[in-house]
Structure 1
């Protein structure tokens, strides 16, 4: 039997966490305006899969692991911050130099490539790690039964898919992506600077 109070608690915490802009949002926004809609949805799929992974870890007690072995949390945090800084700097350096994608399949960089970019962005996202370890794990009760566990994961999957998918759908509209192409260099630099700032902020906290 599903514990709906536990599922509701997870929903109320998660929906607030997912809509707060962070590296995942920036990655989805940039992919949506700079590549095909198919690639944007592939990146969203990668982010959703990792969200399900972190949610599973949180429910099973990753917060306890980090509490017992704080060096693991520090190592994960620094590795994630390093990835974000590297990714942001690469985006700044390549601003305006890549071919401008159009909304067709031939311009696609490949579903697998975009999917793995979403996985890499989220798996190294310090915001996600901290949220699931410190906040989500508190909302999710320990030792839940299988139906409740699956309902919690379904909640995470549906909310993440709807939010990031909606962002990708809106920003990949031709009018929006066309505006991006007209100011590609400066938008790329702004996105890169935001990602670098997020990485530095996490590394220095």
Structure 2
């Protein structure tokens, strides 16, 4: 059983640290509103994972993964939301270039926890991962429900640790990141990345 958990830890760790929409959203929130908002965004992302996990244990994500229409709906909603966040970041970045601007634009508005939650809940790849790959990582000797619960909790914990550490790293680099030129460059990069992730989700064949 220990070997299975080590393998699961490795696979989930690689999935967690791979750059994706969650990291882009957290970066945008950190740049727009600071480390506190970014950490609350991380909390929303972890909550989204727990919600997907609960749906997986209940068997509902398998229905989503098996229904082309439902999967397409979630995929398009998720893609649209990422593009919307990317557009917000670019607009906020453009506004920040004007003298007298303060960081109260769209990218810093709204609940950060809700932003993280919605970003994760509208990611159909999590549903596919939880119904396709996650069961193969389940250690033997445990019931399916208990095994999936432990794996989801492990994934959420890794996500909190990784993205939380990333936010703290960004906060330590605050003096550099607050230089106008670097801040604008990172803002543009984050906005373009979010739009790119959205388009990738929309056009993905899976």
Shorter-chain TM-score: what band? 0.7 to 0.9
1:144 match: 144
Which structure has more relative contact order (CA 8 Å, sep 6+)? It is: 1
1:194 match: 193
| Residue 24 (structure 1) shift | 0.2
Matched, 1:128 2:131: no
Kept in 2: contact 1:9–1:140 (CA 8 A)? no
1:153-205 deviations in whole A, cap 9, x for unaligned?
331232111100000110122234324x4433332222111111111111112
CA–CA separation in structure 2 for the residues paired with 1:12 and 1:58: 21
CA–CA separation in structure 2 for the residues paired with 1:100 and 1:21: 29
CA–CA separation in structure 2 for the residues paired with 1:12 and 1:87: 31
Structure 1 stretches of 4+ with a deviation exceeding 4 A read: 3-6, 98-101
Matched, 1:203 2:178: no
CA–CA separation in structure 2 for the residues paired with 1:49 and 1:87: 19
Kept in 2: contact 1:84–1:125 (CA 8 A)? no
Q: Which runs of 5+ in 2 are unaligned?
A: none
Query: Please, what TM-score do these two structures have when normalized by structure 1?
Result: 0.78
Taking structure 1 as reference, are residues 152 and 176 closer, same or farther at Cα in structure 2, changes over 3 Å only? farther
Kept in 2: contact 1:84–1:196 (CA 8 A)? yes
1:81 match: 79
CA–CA separation in structure 2 for the residues paired with 1:10 and 1:53: 20
Task: After superposing the two structures, state which structure 1 stretch, 8-17 or 123-132, moved more.
Answer: 123-132
CA–CA separation in structure 2 for the residues paired with 1:115 and 1:55: 18
CA–CA separation in structure 2 for the residues paired with 1:61 and 1:11: 23
CA–CA separation in structure 2 for the residues paired with 1:153 and 1:67: 18
Matched, 1:154 2:187: no
Kept in 2: contact 1:84–1:124 (CA 8 A)? no
| Aligned partner of residue 160 in structure 1, secondary structure | helix
Kept in 1: contact 2:82–2:195 (CA 8 A)? yes
1:89-124 deviations in whole A, cap 9, x for unaligned?
2221221425555xxxxxxx69x8111111122222
Kept in 2: contact 1:59–1:137 (CA 8 A)? no
